[in-house]
Structure 1
Amino acid sequence: MTYSNDWWRKAVIYQIYPKSFFDTNGDGCGDIKGIYQKLDYLADLGVDALWISPMYTSPMKDNGYDISDYYRIDPLFGTNEELYQLISAAHSKKIKIIMDFVANHTSDQHQWFLESQQSKDNPYSDFYIWKDPKPDGSEPNNWGSHFGGSAWEYCSVRNQYYLHYYAKEQPDLNWENEGVRQAIYQAMRFWAEKGIDGWRMDVITEISKYTDFPDYETNSEIPVVGFMHSNGPRLHEFIQEMHREVFEPYGLMTVGEAQDSDAQMAQMFLDRERKELDMMFTFEHMDVDVEPDTPNRKWQLQAFNLPKLKRVFADWQTSLVNVGWNALYFENHDRPRIISRWGNDTDYRYESATAFATILHGQKGTPFIYQGEEIGMTNIKLPLSEYDDVEISNNYQELVEKNQTLSHKEFIAAVYQIGRDNARTPMQWNRQENAGFTNGTPWFPVNQRYLEINVSCDQVDRQSISEYYKQLIYLRHTEAILTEGSFVLLLEKDEKIFAFERTLENETWLILANLSAETLEFPPSLRREHSRRIIQNYPEANQTVLRPYESTIISYQNK
């Protein structure tokens, strides 16, 4: 099933975290002019669209995901006019612009909240979710914040608590209020009329709340983050209304962040007949090394489980056939560097980076590349005090200092593996001071591996990760089998090899990767006569073994 006007089905999308991309004015933070100056680099890479993380006015408690004015670009990044110029310049290079929109919450410095907290009867009093204390003065229920602690914060002026799924400076909007919904749609229309091409919808599956606000059943005194935090009773109604009001009239592509949604749930969001979203970012595949159902949530780690990763990917591939479309990713601003998390970022950095890329880009869906992923950037290890992320600091206070459910050593080990700041280090452009990111003092430490890992070195390296990405992007643009071919998972229980087949008409592609540092036998069941290599990450093909992190795509004709 193909749709001629769905440009995103054959596209590759590149995410920019603007604060860390490229700084042009020496203040240590990336800016809009920095993106403008790197458009030629992005065009040469071959990407079709840029997803840019929020640049709206913000106190930056959560690096821009706490918005205080939906209509104005934060001076940290530039001006509205500079963004309009960027949109025009990108379009001239056939690159589309996708903005990031946060509809679940605002900053506590947004004018709506400043008014709302003043009384129970002002025009904005019901724009947020306010509840009376329990008779003993405690929180209305035991719901927890993703960033640690209770999801409720007390306001003495109203003698009530307000709900915040994230930091206390990020109060949740009350989507039951039609005035809230219309205010959000109006802000989205403003940017649509400026020429943007789509939206990435932050935590969109959390906008509908269980309005009876029941407690979670638990034996623990630790506030709970659970199933009631997502997929509330009016969620689909709200998204369908958003589609009617904004997405459809302006022809916008949409991809929604959808934690706690599985492939079966995704069918409802992505079924074209239902008119909701075009794509969703699942969390399932990114949680295969997280111990489930613990009060420590994402910080309680377990061993990487490749068979589980394969099952999750395969489930999404098969469940959405002729129903919806996959958004494919390993890295983003909330995820660490994949080669540091599940691969080998030292001895086999090139092989590891290209192996994971082959597996991802070989699947059916739209691949998303996060800045620096295309050059094999790695995680960073810092003293705890040097991390910037509110999620890290809040959870450390909650889990280590207050509840003592994790030791300092366990928590910092988890930060090194999955902390969000791993992805937020400045982009590494060259070997100059601060990796060429800024001539000032960077807002966050530069990864000290920038002397060996940077764009300039990658462009002259005989084994270039970015060149491999260019080949994958070219295949996405030119080979229908990647967008239209069927998907069949192979070697489902193998703990080191990820293999699957894509088939279209008389041709089949075998996508294969050894995701280990061991040399393995090339599986006899996967050997094909009269085949040809489409792409491979070792210089010479080998028909009998798979070397460490070796990946390849092999084409053959069906009998």
Structure 2
Amino acid sequence: MSELAWWQRGVIYQIYPRSFQDSNGDGIGDLPGISARLEYLAALGVDAVWISPIYPSPMADFGYDVADYCNIDPIFGTLDGFKQLMGHAHRLGLKVLLDFVPNHSSDRHPWFEESRSSRDNPKRDWYLWRDPAPDGGPPNNWLSRMGGSAWKWDEVTGQYYFHAFLPEQPDLNWRNPQVRGAMDEVLRFWLDCGVDGFRVDVLWLLIKDAQFRDNPPNPGYRPGEPDHHRLLQSYTEDQPEVHDIVRSMRATLDEYGERVLIGEIYLSVPQLVKYYGVNGDGAHMPFNFQLLNARWKADEIAGMIRDYDIALPEYAWPNWVLGNHDNPRVASRVGTAQARVAAVLLLTLRGTPTLYYGDEIGMTDGEIPPDRIHDPAELRQPGICQGRDPERTPMQWDGSLPNAGFTDGRPWLPIATTTSVREQDGDRSSMLSLYRHLLSLRRSNAALVQGAIDNVEAYGDVLTYERRYGNQCLFIALNMGVEDATVQSRSGVVLLSTVSARIGENFVQGANSLAASEAVVVAV
């Protein structure tokens, strides 16, 4: 496997820093807390940690409103502390990825403060400013992903500015070469610090229509969906010019050796794969989010796997994501029993897997009382937007109440459930043990890392496929149903099962049994 890059061989683990480990009792996770838990991650068997935003920020959207791209918010620590964390991670063999948020800054960023100071300020064109419509209203019908118009009136200069998210998050004008140059310097700052790559926030949104045309109505809109779904995003996302930006970012990273560029892109597979670029000069991995919203049906997942594998260009490396900070947790989506099956799926598919903190212990979405809601998307669209607080609750390290080993103070969000790392650590049948076994199995089997995926089929509730490399063939069978099932297989030995007692058992040629919610990996 040595011919593969580390990000092709490895497994990425996402940390939401506010919720991973608090070191100073203020109830908010921080960099010293992350550093203290790196041995746990190395022992788990992951290869890289991706840390959600830790830049100085007013925290209107919890770090996704950046006020300084080249420093650390005091809530989390210091720049020297981050460098120490990175050194600690590298000594343990872990790579460190940062969240890069280039679409928008905070309205308190010095760039925006200059931009809004006057119409003739040199940085005026660093953001998207427009005159009002003839009736005095917004320049067009573009909608914010946080609800309402995406245009905010500025009394001082008599124009509107565009914000795809909160009004406190004005969008940068990526058609301006000076903006591109400034953001390139940001990338270089962190690369010079030694980071191993970036996850780029909302990469597909960076360029907007140059003519600022109205978005057309969405004929498929259903009441109760987020407000911006009322329109098709024809002129506010996935514009052709965005690919020039992606190529430029990739070229900068390539100057630094084996670094990785990952794009957050919520698009259909045919659109998604274009972000790999021409002959692989785009993002190394445009995030593949299909599993986040998939119906948990064997035939649908089988079709998804086949279609994605076919759509990938020859030079493209696949990837799969099971959970993140913007979507309900997998154990809440499919249930705790099927979350074990989902773990086997994620870590045996072809391509680089990304795990979300806490999924390895089966954390579920937390219940957030109305007076503890923090997510601005939920506060601005109550009852419509799926709030993101439930999947951001603190990591549960032990069974102590009310803080689960996360903090000595009051956690910024309530603890979700009673399960914990300490409770599962010595239990061979636990979710944590399953993840450790899966990650070890993946690391030691070339077929799971670089092998082809073949014979993807669904039989009722059972999904099956093979991973092949050289003379090695692994057969994977996932019972996605609540009843026992049978599966046809060649003879072989069970290397892993969600029913741990079956490990080492022989599969026979022909029909073999699967318990409800059982997944197996068989060396055939």
Normalising to structure 1: TM-score of the pair? 0.86
Three-state SS of the structure 2 residue aligned to 1:230 is coil
Give the count of matched residue pairs: 508
Tell me: CA distance 1:322–1:476, structure 2 relative to 1, closer, same or farther (3 Å). Answer: farther
Contact kept? 2:26, 2:409, Cα under 8 Å: yes
Q: Equivalents in 2 of 1:512, 1:153: separation in Å?
A: 52
Q: Equivalents in 2 of 1:237, 1:471: separation in Å?
A: 42
Three-state SS of the structure 2 residue aligned to 1:229 is coil
Question: C-alpha displacement at 1:5, in angstroms?
Answer: 5.5
Three-state SS of the structure 1 residue aligned to 2:63 is coil
Q: Equivalents in 1 of 2:269, 2:191: separation in Å?
A: 29
Tell me: CA distance 1:280–1:17, structure 2 relative to 1, closer, same or farther (3 Å). Answer: same
Question: C-alpha displacement at 1:168, in angstroms?
Answer: 1.2
Question: C-alpha displacement at 1:305, in angstroms?
Answer: 5.0
Q: 1:429 aligns with which of 376, 397, 400?
A: 397
Amino acid at match of 1:181: R
> Aligned residue for 2:224?
none
Question: C-alpha displacement at 1:272, in angstroms?
Answer: 6.9
Tell me: CA distance 1:288–1:62, structure 2 relative to 1, closer, same or farther (3 Å). Answer: same
Three-state SS of the structure 2 residue aligned to 1:14 is strand
Question: C-alpha displacement at 1:250, in angstroms?
Answer: 4.9
Tell me: CA distance 1:210–1:284, structure 2 relative to 1, closer, same or farther (3 Å). Answer: farther
Q: Equivalents in 2 of 1:552, 1:274: separation in Å?
A: 34
Question: C-alpha displacement at 1:385, in angstroms?
Answer: 4.1
Contact kept? 2:47, 2:94, Cα under 8 Å: yes
Contact kept? 1:192, 1:250, Cα under 8 Å: no
Q: Equivalents in 1 of 2:57, 2:298: separation in Å?
A: 39
Q: Equivalents in 2 of 1:203, 1:215: separation in Å?
A: 21
Matches within 5 A, 1:52-451: 52-218=51-217, 224=231, 226-260=233-267, 262-271=268-277, 273-288=279-294, 306-320=298-312, 322-341=314-333, 343-345=334-336, 348=337, 352-396=338-382, 408=383, 411=384, 415=386, 419-433=387-401, 434-447=403-416, 449-450=417-418
Q: Equivalents in 1 of 2:48, 2:266: separation in Å?
A: 23
Tell me: CA distance 1:247–1:171, structure 2 relative to 1, closer, same or farther (3 Å). Answer: farther
Three-state SS of the structure 2 residue aligned to 1:141 is coil
Q: 1:510 aligns with which of 475, 482, 488?
A: 475
Describe the superposition over 1:90-132 as per-residue Cα deviations: whole angstroms up to 9, x where unpaired: 1111111111100111111111111111211101101101111
> Aligned residue for 1:546?
514
Q: 1:483 aligns with which of 418, 441, 449?
A: 449
Amino acid at match of 1:90: A
Q: Equivalents in 2 of 1:243, 1:539: separation in Å?
A: 43
> Aligned residue for 1:400?
none
Question: C-alpha displacement at 1:3, in angstroms?
Answer: 7.7
Three-state SS of the structure 2 residue aligned to 1:442 is coil
Tell me: CA distance 1:274–1:10, structure 2 relative to 1, closer, same or farther (3 Å). Answer: closer
Tell me: CA distance 1:515–1:219, structure 2 relative to 1, closer, same or farther (3 Å). Answer: closer
Q: Equivalents in 1 of 2:266, 2:315: separation in Å?
A: 20
Three-state SS of the structure 2 residue aligned to 1:243 is helix
Matched, 1:519 2:483: yes
Q: Equivalents in 2 of 1:317, 1:385: separation in Å?
A: 45
- Which 10-residue stretch deviates more, 221-230 or 241-250? 221-230
Tell me: CA distance 1:26–1:497, structure 2 relative to 1, closer, same or farther (3 Å). Answer: same
Tell me: CA distance 1:7–1:539, structure 2 relative to 1, closer, same or farther (3 Å). Answer: closer
Question: C-alpha displacement at 1:138, in angstroms?
Answer: 1.5
Q: Equivalents in 1 of 2:318, 2:211: separation in Å?
A: 34
Contact kept? 2:280, 2:316, Cα under 8 Å: no
Contact kept? 2:374, 2:389, Cα under 8 Å: yes
Q: 2:492 aligns with which of 531, 536, 541?
A: 531
Contact kept? 2:273, 2:286, Cα under 8 Å: no
Unpaired runs of 5+ residues, structure 1, are 290-303, 397-407
Q: Equivalents in 2 of 1:20, 1:38: separation in Å?
A: 12
Q: Equivalents in 2 of 1:23, 1:190: separation in Å?
A: 27
Q: Equivalents in 1 of 2:191, 2:232: separation in Å?
A: 34
Amino acid at match of 1:442: P
Q: Equivalents in 1 of 2:213, 2:79: separation in Å?
A: 43
> Aligned residue for 1:36?
35
Describe the superposition over 1:133-163 as per-residue Cα deviations: whole angstroms up to 9, x where unpaired: 1100111111111111111111111211111
Unpaired runs of 5+ residues, structure 2, are 222-226
Contact kept? 2:399, 2:405, Cα under 8 Å: yes
Describe the superposition over 1:426-482 as per-residue Cα deviations: whole angstroms up to 9, x where unpaired: 0000012300100011111111x22xx101001022312122111211222221111
